[in-house]
Amino acid sequence: MQSIRLAWPAVAGALLAAASIGATAQTSGPIKIGLMLPYSGTYAALGTAIENGFKLYVQEQGGKLGGREVQYFKVDDESEPAKATDNVNKLIKRDNVDVLVGTVHSGVALAMAKAAKDNNTLLVIPNAGADAITGPMCGPNIVRSSFSNWQPGYAMGVVAGQKGVKRAMTITWAYAAGAESTKGFTEGLEKGGGKVIKDLTLPFPNVEFQALLTEIAAQKPDAVYAFFAGGGAVKFVKDYAAAGLNKTIPLYGPGFLTDGTLEAQGASAQNMLTTLHYADNLDTAKNNAFRKAYAIAYKSQPDVYAVQGYDAAQILANGLKAVGGDLSKRDQLSAAMRKTAVDSPRGKFTLSAAGNPVQDMYLREVKGNNNEFRSVAVKALADPARGCKL
Ligand code: PHB
């Protein structure tokens, strides 16, 4: 009995100490940020650009967000949906991060969103456009600094319709992003009186395009819409030009087809038209300062992924400022992340109730190593957020 009586105060003391460590972690000490991004595979360069952009913003704030130091934890998700749940749990359960930032690939991001909901962890998505995440899966703890797959696709469909395209074909990888991007394109094109005569797909991340290019040549559509990104986009644009198709059938796409890829694509991408929420030469004080700072920090030019990483940090900072860095004020923090306009290199944008950017979609043209602004294809485009109930 004696030993039990002695043991209880010790246990209670230990529990109290543990609880107060938990409470302190909410209000002081470093904020633990879990970066789950692709650092290998076809999207590797995209992951690096996102991390660079995120860290650039944090550095500009003196290394702090909401007055708190930042501690990073990193996982290479390999753009591999089958490993996504294990990978995200390393950050949530092993590293006990306060905030998840990721990822690029929609299939991986869907697993992250599920885990974030199940564990009530904050999630900021710096790329993956899976429509469902700000649709049926939307939640107060999830926001996106990028786009929904529907957005740039829809804008390109509208532009193609205005250009008189009547018969188009689409080509993409068979996964959520490709399917949703081409669906958005089809919707925009049909508004302008055109239609998609055939959707071509191949498994992610395959790059054996030859048989599909032969089929395009045989069908002779008025235009082709392609969703590819990273290494796959480099190869596709080069193969399309090598087959001579770019001389007779315009190749359109969401801007991912030519973003961060132009040095490698060279002549094959020149004069291509794409739609996206960013253009390299936007002549604003914010974009000029961002591009200069990025080039100095990383000895390379930023792209849309770097912008999205930068803005993911800004969105998080907006929330943390509103609560003075106190993570225990979760509802207030989540609400402030959504309510504050973001002063982005792409131009100022707001977040919808579902947590997705409401933003201008630009028509861009490739000139040299830049995606140059041509016009606003669709102003303040909001994702329809079909199925989102908050
Ligand atoms: C996606 O999987 O949602 C995705 C990947 C790369 C992009 C855009 C979207 O460039």
**Phi-psi category of 62—alpha, beta or left, where left has phi over 0 and alpha has psi -120 to 50?**
left
pTM summary value: 0.94
What is the CA(373)–ligand 1 centre distance, in A? 21
Atom of ligand 1 nearest to the CA of 304: 10
Report the alpha-carbon distance of residue 333 to residue 349 in Å, rounded.
19
* Residue spans in the chain of domains classed CATH 3.40.50.2300: 26-147+282-359, 150-276
On whether the CB atoms of residues 293 and 60 are closer than 8 A, the answer is yes
How close is the Cα of 68 to the center of ligand 1, in Å? 31
**CATH number of the domain at 26-147+282-359, please?**
3.40.50.2300
The single residue listed with the structure tokens 């490739």 is 366
H or E element at residue 276: strand 273-276
**Termini Cα distance of the chain:** 54
Full pLDDT tens readout for the chain, 390 residues: 333 343 444 444 444 444 444 555 678 899 999 999 999 999 999 999 999 999 999 999 999 999 999 999 999 999 999 999 999 999 999 999 999 999 999 999 999 999 999 999 999 999 999 999 999 999 999 999 999 999 999 999 999 999 999 999 999 999 999 999 999 999 999 999 999 999 999 999 999 999 999 999 999 999 999 999 999 999 999 999 999 999 999 999 999 999 999 999 999 999 999 999 999 999 999 999 999 999 999 999 999 999 999 999 999 999 999 999 999 999 999 999 999 999 999 999 999 999 999 999 999 999 999 999 999 999 999 999 999 998
Q: How far, in Å, from the CA of 332 to the mean position of ligand 1?
A: 30
Residue by residue, DSSP assigns 62-118 as TTEETTEEEEEEEEE-TT-GGGHHHHHHIIIIIS--SEEE--S-HHHHHHHHHHHHH
Q: Which CATH number fits domain 150-276: 3.40.50.1000, 3.40.50.2300, 3.40.50.720, 3.40.50.150?
A: 3.40.50.2300
φ and ψ at residue 362, rounded to 5 degrees: -95, 145
Report how many helices (DSSP H) and strands (DSSP E) the chain contains, helices first. 12, 15
Mutate to test the pocket of ligand 1, among 46, 77, 80, 104 (most ligand atoms within 8 A of CB): 104
Retrieve residue 127's tokens: 């790329």
CA gyration radius, the chain = 22
